[in-house]
Amino acid sequence: MLLKSRVSIITGGARGIGKGIALRFSEEGSDIVIADLLDKEGSQTASEIQQKGRRALYVHCDVSAAQQVRTLVKQAIKEFGKVDILVNNAAFGPPSRPFAEISEAEWDRTIAVNLKGVFLCCQAVIGHMKQNNYGKIINISSGNAVSPALPMAHYAASKAGILGLTNDIALEYAPFGICVNAILPGPVRTELWDTNIPPGVPKEAFFKELGKVVPMKRVGEPADIADAALFLASDLSRFITAAQIHVGGGLPLRYQM
């Protein structure tokens, strides 16, 4: 097993991409700490992992709140003795809207969860990882960070910020055995898209149409992202840090017709 005896914190792990990563990591031997605001879904995901014979803990946590993040990490260490892997997946997906119509409140919430949350979670674990001379941090950015697909300046800015943050932390902590990398998913079939599905359009039809812009002609599934995350979380990537891996079926490549 690639993650035998490892302990992973996965933010936004209750559903979608985060749940896919949590389940995949547990299959490879990792104990899992799920951080989310969705208590019912988070507890259910933890229960699914436990039923498969792995240890799992759900912690209610708003990643934009520093005290809650510190408590999350303390609980993880108290329960499992250490934290080897952090996956910063929690995200706020605002509806698409023209730049001039983005409210200050919506901007602030998007940046707080998507970028400040990554900053706080990394800061909360980095001292522990440095002390252990080992750590894997995987930050979930977005293809929108480098190739916007919809008018979502607040979301694109937050995800682009993650890339700069990833590079800086990776450089500073490389001497301490800590690898910090980013994944840039393309369109993935998750609930994050719900606010951008037009009224009256069936979800399946929406994703089928969306898949047409992808060179591989389909949208991604959480398992596609989970497998890339597994590589970065395992020792197969022991000499890789500051990498930006696009997992988008060929996006952002596009034919110019």
27, 48 contact by CB (below 8 A): no
Q: Radius of gyration over alpha carbons of the chain, in Å? A: 17
- Answer yes or no: 155 catalytic: yes
Which residues, in sequence order, are bridge partners of residue 182? 139, 244
The structure tokens listed for 94 are: 């605002």
Chain centroid offset of residue 237 CA: 18
Rounded to whole angstroms, how far apart are CA atoms 118 and 158?
A: 10
Rounded to whole angstroms, how far apart are CA atoms 138 and 243?
A: 10
Q: Which of 134, 155, 173, 255 is catalytic?
A: 155
Sheet holding 85-88, edge to edge: 56-60, 31-36, 7-11, 85-88, 135-140, 178-185, 244-247
Residues carrying an active site annotation: 155
